[in-house]
Amino acid sequence: MTLLSVRKVYQGIADRRQMFRMFDRHAQRPDRFQDDASALYGGEWFEISEAEHDCMFEILPPLWMRGEMFALREFLTDRITSIFYALNIDGRLRYFHGYCDLLDKGSPERMRDAIVERETRPVRAMTREERLEHIWSSTHDDYRGYAGERWPERDRSRRTVMFYGGRHGTTLKLLDELTDDEIAAKLPVHLRYLPEAIAA
């Protein structure tokens, strides 16, 4: 699976249930306990509410605090941990969660800069990759997964989602091969007609 280095994985503000689901949104991946998932999680970010930000701050003493950000003491992998941000964007305080590789010097600051750049776009827009990541994040675990042994070898371990094709019935499709019409059908109505953003 090819992923961008820093990527928004959910549109809108995640509530507490959604936030905890997205903390491990790759839980179904093959070889979960044998592989290093640093590249899979590193760079993912999404918006949360102030209440969720404050709740996470109070769970454990932070590993460190720097101005508008703090790091969780517990690591997801050997290198990746949660960074929580309180950022002033367009005159309004907003809150975000991201996964950073702390062995990569400056990654929390680069993520902060990427979030600010992404969220200050003059027009609400989504890239194709953001649309696919939102579909993955918002699809229930029972309706998403990874291509297994029944798939051609070249497709194994790629992400899949269930797709309802009307009179053609429900089929399992590779996430990154959904057509534009299929993507629109899987998105909530308020996100279907946003303009296409040029990927940075």
Look at residue 34 in the predicted model and tell me its pLDDT: 65
Look at residue 22 in the predicted model and tell me its pLDDT: 85
Q: Are residues 15 and 89 in the same domain?
A: yes
Q: Are residues 53 and 91 in the same domain?
A: yes
User: For a pLDDT cut of 70, what percent of the chain falls above it?
Assistant: 86
Q: Are residues 134 and 102 in the same domain?
A: no
Q: Are residues 13 and 76 in the same domain?
A: yes
Look at residue 28 in the predicted model and tell me its pLDDT: 78
Look at residue 82 in the predicted model and tell me its pLDDT: 92
Q: Are residues 54 and 12 in the same domain?
A: yes
As a whole number of angstroms, the distance between CA 179 and CA 21 comes to: 26
As a whole number of angstroms, the distance between CA 78 and CA 131 comes to: 29
Residue-number span of the structural domain to which 87 is assigned? 7-119
Q: Are residues 20 and 115 in the same domain?
A: yes
Low-confidence ranges of the chain (pLDDT < 50): 1-4, 199-200
For residue 13, give both structure tokens.
Answer: 């503000």
Indicate the pTM of the whole model.
0.78
Q: Are residues 99 and 133 in the same domain?
A: no
Look at residue 190 in the predicted model and tell me its pLDDT: 62
Look at residue 87 in the predicted model and tell me its pLDDT: 96
Positive/negative CA dihedral, 182, 10, 126, 103: negative
